Chain A
Amino acid sequence: MAWIEFEGRRVRIEAGDTVASALFRHGVRTFTRSIKSHRRRGLTCLTGDCANCLVRVDDEPGMRSCITPARDGMRVEREGGVPSVERDLLAALDRLHPLLPVGFYSKTFIRPRLAWTVAERLIRGATGIGRLPTGVRPRISQVRHLHVEVLVIGAGVAGLSAALSASEGGRSVLLCDEGEPGWLVAPGPTIERICSLAEAVQRAASITTLWHHAAVGIYEGPLVPLAGPERLVHVHPERVVVATGALESLQTFRGNDLPGVWLGRGAARLAGRHGLSPGRRAVIVAETAEALEHLGALGSSGSKLVAVVASDEIPAPTAGARVIRGGAVMAALGRRGVRAVVIRTERGSERIACDTLVLSTRRFPRDALLRMAADLPPSGEAVVGAGEVVAPGCSLDEAEQSGALAGRGEAVPISEPPAPGLGAEGLVCPCEDVSVADLERAWEEGWRSSEILKRYTTATMGPCRGALCGWALAAFARARGADALASARTTARPPARPVRLEQLAAGVHEVVEKRTGLHHLHVSRGARVDWSGRWKRPFTYGDWRDEHRAVRERVSLMDVGTLGKFLIGGPDGRELLERVLPCRVESLEPGRCRYVVVLDEGGYVMDDGILCALGDGRAYLTSTSGGAERMEAWLRGWADRWGLRAHIVDRTSALGAINVAGPRARELLSRLTDDPVDASAFPYGAHRHLTVAGVPCRAIRVGFVGELSFELHHPRSRGFELWTALEQSGADLGVRPHGLDALDVLRLEKGHPYLGQDTLPDDHPDKLGLGWTVAMDKPWFVGRVALQRMRELPLERRLVGLELDGDASSLRGMPLALDGRVVGRVTSCALSPALGRSIGLGWLRAVDGGFPQVLRAGSAQARVVPTPFYDPEGVRVRA
């Protein structure tokens, strides 16, 4: 015997039970309360379309109980209501409904403000149906990508048939359904047809099926995400067949939302599949041929059929029920549920006592997915509908044929039913408690299109996403003479079916961290490793001052493998660089390198790096660590735009790089290489191939830290042996590694700005004091036009070197003030170990056409001084 726990009681479940059917058998009739008026709501559609049966299952709010299979040990609670769904004191709000007309909150201006604050609390306390569980752990979800030729959504008659015909010739087909074939269908001819088609589908080798996977939406591509119980599936089909069927229309009459008012298929399913009678005395509205099946199912479940309100085309049912032709439901009466219905006939209106009203009414397409796809390029060809979703009310044969055509990619007959009229009373949108009268009132007030009616009345904005009421809102506007634009269905938006936020999050796995090949070596040397952009890098190995001293006085190593590294070749490779870079590329001789800035079209500095001319006409270019991906895209984008035959090879992760820096760097290097490294053979501004400790390296003489240094770019896999050889060989020289903390001070002493830290996205080179990197005598380069224009204007701000009083290392970010007026800001500063005083970089605005020289940064005086601060002549770097 299996049980679920329902609000502290044990409720028995039987095979095939859903949560809804188990609760219904237990006697539950009110499943939830409506959002605004706190009206009772009970089972209605049993197809997962409406929001009347949402309950909390195992702490997860908003579960559709009618399509949630009941499992032993489940905990189920109803949500909303004060203090409970069954006894909701706020149901008094329902009687206030005439006093709280549509738009009440919009138009009512409650003063004093305090009163509104109180009202706001009350309203907020009363709303919100779902209570989020605390302390949940996101379930581990995964994402799969499936590429198929045809995706069929919906495993009804049309969908199964579409899958079969689509698979002809061995085409790969994926068939998905929110449930399983036939699981929402009452016993009868439909389910027989479904079973036989499903068997054929099972035998077809090229059809894959995914049950319990609901389509979230249709995106460009097409891309159709499917939400399954434990995973998200991205389906990338060539074609999509949407066979999501149709839904009976909830007619509008007073009391149309009372528990006991059923859509025909829902009542038939409860009776036929769960063996439960929806009520003792039933009145059925029969507008479709299918109504006869519903009648049969109800009869066999033990409901007494009191009356059949049948339209003319429905043959007289055989059961002994009374048939009322040409009648219409005027009202369903009752408080806790239906007690009677009022039927209007030609002879007047008649009250019939009953506890169940079954609406086997005209069906409207469940077409949210189709409408999402309607304006996708290429216009709708890749996505077609089949079966009831394009021809509501079609016969089984028609549905099967429609599916077969759609599956083959042939045209499908479409028949759109004319909208019925709305009644004068009752709810149009049960989710949001919007009545016909509300719509009429809003219309009179001037809200005269379906879209703006939606926003004003909130009709269709509830949890059923307009499934029940979308057609009615449009029909309402059309009936009042709105043109096609103003009476269109409101836009269908994903998701088509509810999906948990964590399911959407499933596919995203951030790059955990980027590491260089030397990462573990750093860690083993005691490095404090932290984020630097998307990389994890060593900040210090203990004491940055020691590291700083090693660079300035001895020799030190730094892992700079994070730098962007690109090889640029091809017949037009140099031409590409000449056009993209603002410096002279042609005149750079093989074996030489040059500091370059990269400008965008606005003349602003995007990035900087080192350009090395190679002997074979190719070039090797580095970029900042954070700018590598953008640099590659930038170069490729321009090559593509100009149609240049240039090859850009991203070597960033293939190559490692170690900077060997310090006055004794040459001495260390010469111990490990037979290649000449003396100043005449390998001067500053050159690059050479060196074999260092047996590792082939491209060595570049650059000077970011302001000392003699060799940047050794090497195959990443050889980094470990290179680093350890340098360490061992330099032990007597006092070699040690330095990290980003030391680097920050070292480069500051040389006055080098950090792009991003000291710069802004709209800095042109002149503002940074980097005007010398730009060859304006070149006829054209990216950004030249803008730069030319800006150079004709006086500089309105610039980056300056600062000397500050005392220990200014904590002054980063401090405003720079002139006579109490803020005219700039410190972007970097430090107490320089090499100089024994505080230095910094900062922004300064022009004041009266000039740049002030003496400022205040907090309590310290800041004087503008030229950079570099350290070794201004660059003797050490050229050593």
Chain B
Amino acid sequence: MADARARYWRSAEPRRSYDVVIVGGGGHGLSTAYYLARNHGLTDVCVVEKGWLAGGNMARNTTIIRSNYLWDESAAIYEHSLKLWEGLEDELGFDLQFSQRGVLNLAHHLGDVRSSLRRVNANRLNGVDAEWLTPEEVRAFCPIVNVSPDLRYPVLGATLQRRGGIARHDKVAWGYAARASDLGVDIVEHAEVVGFLRGPDGRLEGVRTTRGDIRAGRVALSAAGHTSVLASMLGLRLPLQSHPLQALVSVLLEPVLDCVVMSNAVHVYVSQAEKGELVMGAGIDAYNSYAQRGSFHVIERQMAAAVELFPIFAHAKLLRTWGGIVDVCPDASPIISATPIENLFINCGWGTGGFKATPGAGWVFADLVANGRPGELARPFSLERFTIGALIDEHGAAAVAH
């Protein structure tokens, strides 16, 4: 039953040239590498990571997985991702502590209720499981939620996606890294991209890193909050705003919460990890930043909401807070797109919700990079939508207000 491996992945020395260089060794970059190799037979691939493997947002998220997005285009890609999650442990051969314990999205006012009901309908039409729970049903499903009508933001109901849940984030990245590495992908840590190689005619020919130049037939950016920095080196401006987003954990506690509870209105989302710590996410800081830390008042507001919704949390002790940098698009939907620069592809703009999309985004982005043109799932998420105005507005479904 045990497949104890001596080593997860090969930490490689970069070679001089590859078919594809993926910039960013986080969840999306690694899953892209894996699916390039697995689905498209492209193994002459290098993933360059400026820090340690999966040390950016992949190490900083709250591990929530769900697919209950509003619009058809989003439902298609997030549901594709969720279906991949459901088979991912077998696919990768690792235990990922993937646990479909159900995700509640609380509604706190009339507008919330209306948009939640609408989302439930939309989800069902798209084949995404969704239920509407009354406050009493919310309490039955998650007894520690305070459903008293006296709260400032009373719980008027909730949507429930039973197939939603959590997974252990680090393991997902390591699993993809291991299998991509098995298939021949080179993973290079501590190699920061500091520039791009352009040919005499301006063609993109590779990347310049702190560990040397690497030539590439195609370059795939998968650098989350720092994508805009990389793109600006090529003179490309992207419709992205980078903001700090904080999360925190409590000390280990006996199990009190066996589902995921999210509240858009009061900005708290929480689950309890296997070991026993409460994992909670906060709202974003309003200012732009690339520093991986946020403001104290954001934590204070988040805790106020958490303690009101879950009075039992009052005496839990805070273990650690941290911050990551999220790249947010005007419509709270991602960009998976070719660019005006030939051979440059981007996967970014996942904002506050990239973790759940890890398998799906990698799958779809690999398809785009391999074929040079978007497939059905990626097409609506092209850069072009900002030109023609066909946005995919997911502010309601993205749990964190942007």
Contacts and interface: CB of A to CB of B under 8 A. Distances in A.
Given A451-B52, A504-B318, A110 B274 contact: no
A508 B320 CA distance: 20
Interface in B300-314: 300-301, 303-304, 306-308, 311-314
A129 B276 CA distance: 8
Contacts of A512: 152
A111 B1 contact: yes
Interface stretch (B31-39, B107-115, B199-207, B353-361): B107-115
Contacts of A762: 330-331, 389, 391, 393
B251 interface: yes
Contacts of B9: 446
B92 to A, nearest CB: 9
A579 interface: no
B60 to A, nearest CB: 11
13 contacts: A61-B253, A110-B2, A133-B312, A452-B52, A491-B322, A498-B317, A501-B314, A505-B306, A512-B152, A762-B389, A789-B387, A815-B122, A822-B125
B321 interface: yes
B395 interface: yes
A508 B117 contact: no
A120 B274 contact: yes
Residue of A110, A502, A760, A796 with highest tally of chain B CB at under 10 A: A502
A498 B389 contact: no
A838 B311 CA distance: 45
What 7 A-B pairs have minimum CB-CB distances, sorted nearest first? A128-B276, A508-B304, A128-B254, A502-B314, A504-B303, A505-B304, A505-B303
Contacts of B317: 61-62, 130, 463, 498-501
B236 interface: no
Given A123-B274, A136-B311, 20 more contacts: A61-B317, A115-B1, A127-B275, A129-B253, A130-B254, A131-B254, A136-B312, A219-B296, A445-B7, A448-B11, A449-B190, A451-B51, A452-B52, A499-B317, A501-B318, A505-B306, A506-B300, A510-B152, A760-B393, A789-B387
Contacts of A507: 297, 300, 304
A502 B8 contact: no
A219 B311 CA distance: 27
Nearest to B306: A501
Nearest to B389: A790
Nearest to B119: A813
Contact of B315 (A104, A500, A796): A500
Interface in B234-280: 250-256, 274-276
Interface string A285-300: 0000000000000000
Interface size, A (range):
35 or more
B390 interface: yes
Interface string B84-122: 000001000111010000000000011100100110011
B369 interface: no
B363 interface: no
A512 B93 CA distance: 52
B184 interface: no
Interface in A818-849: 822, 825
A83 to B, nearest CB: 14
A830 to B, nearest CB: 14
A115 B1 CA distance: 10
B52 A449 contact: yes
B110 A531 contact: yes
Contacts of A111: 1
Contacts of A486: 52, 190
A18 to B, nearest CB: 18
A659 to B, nearest CB: 22
A333 B360 CA distance: 53
B95 A105 contact: yes
A501 B59 CA distance: 23
B319 A463 contact: yes
A498 B251 contact: yes
A602 B330 contact: yes
A764 B318 contact: no
Interface in A211-226: 216-217, 219-220, 223, 225
Nearest to A458: B275
Contacts of B254: 128-132
A609 interface: no
Contact of B314 (A493, A500, A786): A500
Interface string A127-151: 1111111101111000000000000
Contacts of A812: 114
Contacts of A216: 296
A465 B94 CA distance: 29
A495 B114 contact: no
A494 interface: yes
A789 B189 CA distance: 43
Nearest to A113: B89
B121 to A, nearest CB: 6
Contacts of B44: none
Contacts of A461: 320
B53 interface: yes
Interface in B131-170: 152-153, 170
B291 A375 contact: yes
A138 B311 contact: yes
B121 A815 contact: yes
Given A531-B109, A796-B390, A504 B300 contact: yes
Given A130-B251, A132-B312, A107 B3 contact: yes
Contacts of A455: 55, 59, 170
A485 interface: yes
Interface in A577-627: 602-603
Contact of A132 (B52, B125, B253, B303): B253
Given A124-B276, A505-B300, A505-B304, A109 B389 contact: no
Contact of B316 (A127, A137, A501, A796): A501
Nearest to B299: A504
Contact of A127 (B250, B276, B312, B389): B276
A796 to B, nearest CB: 6
Contacts of B312: 132-134, 136
Nearest to B392: A762
B7 A501 contact: no
A633 B125 CA distance: 39
B250 A501 contact: yes
A109 B3 contact: yes
A446 B313 contact: no
A768 interface: no
A506 B3 CA distance: 49
A761 interface: yes
Contact of B3 (A108, A494, A502): A108
A756 interface: yes
A340 B143 CA distance: 50
B339 interface: no
A856 B307 CA distance: 45
B389 A786 contact: yes
Contacts of A757: 111, 114
A5 interface: no
B5 interface: yes
A546 interface: no
B95 A110 contact: yes
A112 B164 CA distance: 21
Contacts of A123: 274
A60 interface: yes
B303 A502 contact: yes
A634 interface: no
A60 B253 CA distance: 12
Contacts of A756: 111
A132 B319 contact: no
Contact of B11 (A104, A446, A463, A825): A446
B244 to A, nearest CB: 11
Interface in A41-95: 59-62
Contact of A219 (B109, B114, B189, B295): B295
B114 A124 contact: no
A175 B309 CA distance: 36
